[in-house]
């Protein structure tokens, strides 16, 4: 975790006062790898909490581009240093064979080394609120 903190602290420092370009994190191989690792871990947690029988083909898709308002969906806050990762966890049900997904924001606090999850939407088919409190 020290490596994650150092990499992102260096990124924040090097960004200085220039506007954050959504491609900066995506195009930095080290940052992209660390962010994908955080997303993969969150996806695994979400499947464990929301799929009673587990699943197959687990994927964590990170949204790197700007949203409709022009805000980078995956970004580092210059003010707090928090990393916001907009992502979708998806998998195939091990018994049903149905596809399930949960889209949301993973927020990694680089100071406290804590994670929080804000759900945006899901495919349905599992317990309501199953992702609440799943990632901490």
Confidence of residue 62 (pLDDT cuts 50, 70, 90): very high
Residue ranges of domains in the chain? 2-122
Strand 83-93 with 74-76, pairing: antiparallel
109: buried, middle or exposed (CB in 10 Å: 19+, 13-18, 0-12)?
A: middle
Tens of pLDDT, residues 1-11: 555 554 555 55
Instruction: Report whether 123 contacts 100 (CB < 8 A).
Output: yes
Domain 2-122 has CATH 3.10.450: yes
**CB hemisphere CA count around 10 (13 angstroms):** 9
Question: Nearest to residue 4, comparing CAs of 48, 39, 44?
Answer: 39
Instruction: Look at 14-18, 24-28, 92-96, 107-111 and tell me which has the smallest mean pLDDT.
Output: 14-18
pLDDT score recorded for residue 81: 92
Tokens linked to 3: 């490596």
Helix ranges, 1-136 (H): 2-15, 23-27, 29-50
At residue 56, the 3 state secondary structure works out as: strand
Percent of the chain topping pLDDT 70: 85
């Amino acid at each position: 975790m020290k490596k994650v903190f150092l990499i992102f602290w260096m990124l924040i420092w090097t960004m200085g006062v220039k506007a954050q370009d959504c491609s900066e994190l995506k195009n930095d191989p080290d940052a992209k790898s660390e962010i994908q690792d955080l997303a993969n871990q969150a996806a695994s947690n979400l499947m464990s909490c929301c799929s009673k029988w587990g699943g197959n083909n687990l994927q964590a898709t990170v949204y790197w581009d700007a949203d409709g308002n022009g805000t980078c969906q995956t970004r580092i806050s210059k003010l707090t240093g928090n990393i916001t990762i907009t992502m979708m966890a998806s998998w195939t049900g091990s018994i049903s064979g149905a596809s399930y997904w949960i889209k949301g924001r993973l927020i990694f606090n680089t100071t406290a080394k804590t994670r929080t999850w804000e759900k945006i939407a899901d495919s349905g088919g599992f317990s309501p609120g199953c992702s609440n409190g799943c990632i901490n």
